[in-house]
Structure 1
């Protein structure tokens, strides 16, 4: 049975979501504050985390950042109504989705199912788990990336962005394309979240030489993974 962590300081919300999740076949763990959420995460292998933003001791952002430094476990942030900055920040620090209070438990479980379905390997994925282009190696199964054997400390979203573009070199993706294919849902916030992810991705890539490929900005359109001729000047 998959493990689900529900972190929220509202006991009623935790109780209701726990009952719905148990009906979905989850083993459910709950936490009423950020410290307890991290303790539960470290004590049990989690398959999904529902994480409220406003919690005692450690808020949801701090918990999300801590988990993202060591895991790609799916995280859904729970935010207050109308607080766009919370949704944008949650996505920027590595959350996979967000849901706004008040919500129906059925909607929450639908979001959980949708994310887990996207993580299930497809037949195509089974034949293409790694991608090698010049000195870049990506492994989508283990969520690992390296340049000339040097590991890249990429977040889940950063690796998925790089994988999507690298496996389709020279194809131009708009910001909306990337949001739809990497985040996988209708995003109602600012598409600049893509720009911030690309900026951080480039900074990590540029720690190591890669003269024969780059993530190129196509002005007025979006981004693409561009392979450069080997005889081009560096």
Structure 2
């Protein structure tokens, strides 16, 4: 299968070798050289697979894996210069699907990538990516939010990022810290107060009564959750 593969590798020469091998097998390869770019690009590109180096500037590969795994089931193949068992187990515990130590054989890496892609092809259900929770619809591909009227509701990038995370797991209570992790890939200045402002603005745009929200609910002392609303809670 031809796939869209994101390569996050700070070694420019190694990254180019990986790109060459991937493109020779018919894949589309996108290369970034730091962890923050890896997070931003993965969110925007929605790749079929991520090849992720552990040691990278700005955000290391382990944190990249942890953050993206909370948002996505994208297969992750991690690369590391360390061969210790602890590092291997940590990467797998954070959600990596496979692990290779450097130096590695590019041919073996391609074989591992083919195996991961076949696994995804077998188990991934057809999905248009649209998230619907009660009267709220979030379309990540079109970057659109719709409310009960069905009309597109304009949202800032931060509002959309927070709402998308909550819509992907309706009913889950998110702490402010967890929602901050969704935005800090592109906005390092975000704070707990920023998340409160995003939620307040989303309520004004989506709730019939923002003072008594039915879907964007506060869980006092913890954070926020997105629910279908009282009319659909039993469905």
TM-score using structure 1 length = 0.51
Partner of 1:43: 44
Q: In structure 1, what is the equivalent of residue 80 of structure 2?
A: 79
Q: Distance in 2 between matches of 1:39 and 1:90?
A: 20
Size of the aligned set, in residue pairs, is: 129
Q: Per-residue CA shift, 1:182-214, capped at 9, x if unaligned?
A: xxxxxxxxxxxxxxxxxxxxxxxxxxxxxxxxx
Q: Is the CA contact (8 Å cut-off) linking 1:6 and 1:28 kept in structure 2? A: yes
Distance in 1, matches of 2:47 and 2:27, equals 10
1:31 aligned partner: 32
- Distance between the aligned counterparts of 1:81 and 1:42, measured in 2? 27
- SS across alignment from 2:122: coil
Counterpart in 1 of 2:211?
Answer: none
Q: Which residue of 2 aligns with 1:9?
A: 10
Shift of 1:57: 0.4
Aligned equivalents of 1:109, 1:152: Cα separation in 2 = 39
Q: Distance in 1 between matches of 2:70 and 2:50?
A: 15
CA distance in 1, matches of 2:18, 2:29: 9
> Residues 83-115 of structure 1: CA distance to partner in whole angstroms, max 9, x if unpaired?
222211010010000011000111111000011
Q: Structure 1's 109 and 152: CA in aligned 2 closer, same or farther, altered over 3 A?
A: farther
| TM score, norm. by length of structure 2 | 0.51
State how far apart, in whole Å, the 2-side matches of 1:113 and 1:75 are. Answer: 13
For structure 1, the residue ranges without an aligned partner over 5 or more in a row are 127-148, 154-234
Q: What residue ranges of structure 2 are gaps of 5+ in the alignment? A: 126-169, 175-235
State the partner residue of 1:19.
Answer: 20
Deviation of 1:25 after TM superposition, in Å, equals 1.3
Aligned alpha-carbon RMSD (Å): 2.2
Over 3 Å counting, the alpha-carbon distance change for 1:9 and 1:152 in structure 2 is same
Q: Note if contact 1:91-1:97 (Cα within 8 Å) is conserved in structure 2.
A: yes
Match of 2:177 in 1: none
